[in-house]
Amino acid sequence: MYSQDNSQSQGLLRMKKPNLPVSKRSLFSWVRTSSLKLQGLLVVVIAITVFARVVPLEMQKRIVNEAIFLRKIDLLLTYCGIYLVAVLAASGLKFLINTLETIIGQRALADMRKDLYHHILTLPLNFFRKTQPGLVVNALVSELSTSGNFVGMAVAAPVTNILTLLAFASYLIWLNPLLGIISLSIYPIVVFIVPMVQRGANKANKKRVDTARNMSDKITESVSGIHEVHSNAAYHIENRKFDAIVNKLLKIRIVWSLYRFGVKVLNNFFVNLSPFLIFLLGGYLAMKGQLELGALVAFLSAQEKLYTPWKELIEFYQVYEDASVRYKRVMQYFDALPEHAIEAEDRETHDLAGPLNVKDLTFVTESGIRLLDGINLDLQAGEQLALVGFSGSGKSTLALCIGQLYKYNSGHVLLNNFEVSNLSKQDMVHNMGFVSQSPFIFTGTIEDNLMYSCLAQVNGDLQLDREQLPSLDDIIEVLQQTGIFVDVLRFGLNAVLEKTQHQNLIEVLIRIRENFQRDFGEALADYVEFFNENKYLYHSNVAENLTFGTSNNNTFETERLSENTYFQNFLDEADLKRPLLELGSELSRQTVDILGNLPADEVFFKQSPIMADELDDYKILVEQLKNKKLHQLNAEEQERLLHLALRFTPGIHKMVGLPQILERLILEGRSLFREKVTIDFPDDFSFYQLTDYIYNETILNNIFFGKTKTENPQAQEKINQSIIQLLIEEDVLETIVEIGLQFQVGSKGDRLSGGQRQKLAIARSFLKKPNLLIMDEATSALDNSSQARIQRLLETRWKGHATLIAVVHRLDIIKNFDKIAVLKAGKIVELGGYEDLIAKKGMLYELVHGKK
């Protein structure tokens, strides 16, 4: 039966014949596949450039022999003009050649990086277990750069310089065959000797590339394992390892550099030897009248110019050797093939909604360790299987083999009678959802991560009709099911809108703000102090009461107001500076008196405007106040008192009361401050007005439009529920969720908690609605309540609709699974329903009993 099914699946699955893998391509293949039009244009430009380089040599000869010798000004001007035009043309054409080289080389480099990156992503998971990320980064970013540069110059450099050499050599022989042949005779010697030295450089370069790769791996390993390094204070161990690699690389680079310098020194010696021969022989011929003086000048000039193309050829040769070594090393390392075909040819993607059959499944690692041995199990479509057992029993390995993440060595895994190992990745991505114990969250938005699996189903084509992708309603449903909806809503409420965004929403939010105060103001009076421009806010500090708005300029931030000259002048004008200094003085005395002898623990300073780390400074200031009046304090001491007074929040810092006269002065000063700032700095402040939206505040703060009086979680929950109710009534809840979906999760999701990352990964797979769902301890990072939520969802919404393979770490959630497979040492030792297995009092009974 299985051989028939297997042959049937292989017959139905005719994979695309793979193109030559990038790791098999030669360096010169990139030259052949580069832009032929640009290469053709390059050859034409090179030919014109070579001609333009020879023209000045002939002009030099004619200027000396004809214009100067015959004393003809018109010939002098004509030949000099031609000389100048040829030099300008050669310079311009050289720039054009460099431009074309750069375009060709950078395009080739971009193609290399793309193709290699695409290839690397398809390599088996085992490859990445022995490959450091730093090596991949270094290969793609650094080591391929030289190869791209080589491709850019692969045509231009040799053609330009060889044609230039041939043109100059022909011209020299035309001027004087004997002198030309003798002066050129040294170059065959150079061609023979330089490659011998270069071979030593190549050998050292190979060692350099390998050692540099080892150093990159070491750095990546140390940074990845920095927690272990710190927890063991193993700095000396890691330092010794790294220093050994650096010292080895030091020696290799010295040898490599010496060989390279040797090539240059030899080249310079032989090139400088040629003028000696020309002076010796050419001078003799000129003395004998057998060589014109102009010809000798042209000879010397041509010989000097021969050095440039020859030097560039040597440099090109070195670039080629370096690029060749680097390219071969990179491609050899990544010379591996995907374990499974990426796409299937000439057929639709398989629908794998049928049964799952595993027969005699075996998986052996490269080192010969047998992780699975003769696994057999059968599941009908929609059934749920729990895999349990001790660590190392093979649970995750079995799940990964079923999901085609590992390629099993022998046996069968059949999905809807198709052999999994013969299916393409395209088949699997359309039918399987996978959630790991430590899911990876990609840099980007929550929506990017939610849609990741769904986009993979359509090959990541963002231009597809939205109907082919989940709707916002589908997304919200999954967010609610997985328990991350409230988090996404909070991200949306904590978003700051740009002035050009959501103009219609702004009007609604202002209306919600008014409704919030009208409908819930009385009920929330014990919890909230709403902003009111005619009242003092006891749960806002003095600075916030004075400014009564938010700053768009950091010089007007609350913590910096005491040092702001403009603000200090305003306090003088409003007759507030002296009362605030007195308030700061009283706060200092009372705080030092009450807390002065207590430990510098934050818990004692919660109701104090002075922070624990500031207490010593204020103790000194209080001592100064015993002997000085306020006006006798220096500017720094007055600023410190003013800073303390501006920070004072009567509703929190209750050790000192706010004088009524100061409260009235602050309210008057509030109005004066708005008038002054509106004129002097109209763009630096957004003032609190019930009818205006504050663009540098969050959506939540705009709706709330006040300060909480308590940190009680129940009070906060009541406030949140009130706001959500209003959002629903105004039909903008979905809009806020959409904004929340654009929350940037940070690198690897580091702006999310572990539980949020886990929920997001589960939601990502649920949104895909796969026929096969594999969960490898997928709820391990969740709290008990969230785990229970996911388990209920699996038992109610997914049973019968998708086949579930779950690696389970908590045995109290497996009772309702259709089947339970107990693994030990890579074998299934028990398989059946929960009640039956418990009744047998076998391995599962021991595991459950042990857990209890």
DSSP per residue, 169-192: HHHHHHH-HHHHHHHHTHHHHHHH
Residue 184 has a pLDDT of 65
Find, among 720, 719, 764, the residue nearest to 741 by Cα.
764
Residue 810 has a pLDDT of 83
Find, among 16, 57, 789, 173, the residue nearest to 478 by Cα.
789
Does a structural domain hold residue 640?
yes
Whole-number Å distance between alpha carbons of 384 and 368: 32
- Output the domain CATH number for residue 57: 1.20.1560.10
Please count the other Cβ atoms lying within 10 Å of the Cβ belonging to residue 91. Answer: 12
The residue out of 621, 653, 687 marking a domain boundary is: 687
Please count the other Cβ atoms lying within 10 Å of the Cβ belonging to residue 395. Answer: 25
Q: What is the DSSP letter of 289?
A: T
Find, among 832, 838, 819, 834, the residue nearest to 383 by Cα.
819
By CB atoms closer than 10 A (0-12, 13-18, 19+), residue 589 is middle
Whole-number Å distance between alpha carbons of 476 and 741: 10
Residue 774 has a pLDDT of 93
Does a structural domain hold residue 796?
no
Backbone CA torsion sign across 780, 781, 785, 788:
negative
**70-129: per-residue pLDDT in tens?**
778 888 888 888 888 888 988 888 888 888 888 888 888 888 888 898 888 888 888 888
Whole-number Å distance between alpha carbons of 675 and 678: 5
Whole-number Å distance between alpha carbons of 540 and 450: 39
The residue out of 687, 710, 732 marking a domain boundary is: 687
* Cα–Cα–Cα angle for 703, 707, 710, rounded to 5 degrees: 120
Find, among 514, 480, 489, the residue nearest to 698 by Cα.
489
SS3 at position 360: strand
**140-198: per-residue pLDDT in tens?**
888 888 888 888 888 888 888 778 777 777 777 777 777 667 666 666 666 667 677 76
Strand partners, 410: 362
Whole-number Å distance between alpha carbons of 124 and 407: 9
Q: What is the DSSP letter of 406?
A: S
| Cβ proximity of 6 and 419 under 8 Å | yes
Does a structural domain hold residue 588?
yes
Residue 307's alpha-carbon distances to 148, 168, 273, 275, 293, in angstroms, are: 26, 11, 11, 11, 22
Q: Which residue range is the domain that position 25 belongs to? A: 10-333
Splitting the chain (852 residues) into consecutive groups of 10 residues, what average pLDDT does each group show? 38 45 87 80 85 78 75 82 87 86 86 89 84 81 85 83 76 72 67 71 79 79 72 75 87 84 71 65 67 64 66 78 85 87 82 91 89 92 92 90 91 92 89 88 90 78 62 91 92 89 88 90 86 91 91 82 89 91 90 80 77 85 86 87 92 86 92 91 87 89 87 81 90 93 90 91 91 89 86 88 90 89 92 91 85 48
**Token output for 760:** 């997001």
Does a structural domain hold residue 46?
yes
Strand partners, 445: 744
Q: b/e map of 22-57 (b: 16 or more CB within 10 Å)?
A: bbebebeebbeebeeeebeebeebbeebbebbbbbb
**Token output for 86:** 């040829």
The residue out of 315, 333, 351 marking a domain boundary is: 333
The count of structural domains within the chain is 2
Which segments of 446-525 does DSSP mark as H helices, in order? Answer: 446-450, 452-457, 472-482, 485-493, 503-520
The number of helices, as runs of H, and strands, as runs of E, in the chain is 35, 14
Residue 100 has a pLDDT of 86
Provide the percentage of residues in the chain whose pLDDT is more than 70.
88
Residue 16 has a pLDDT of 40
Distance of CA 389 to the CA centre of its chain: 37
- 768 contacts: CB under 8 Å, gap ≥ 6: 433, 453, 454, 457
Does a structural domain hold residue 355?
no
Does a structural domain hold residue 498?
no
Does a structural domain hold residue 712?
no
Residue 18 has a pLDDT of 46
Residue 14 has a pLDDT of 36
Residue 466 has a pLDDT of 58
Does a structural domain hold residue 233?
yes
Whole-number Å distance between alpha carbons of 581 and 621: 12
Residue 1 has a pLDDT of 35
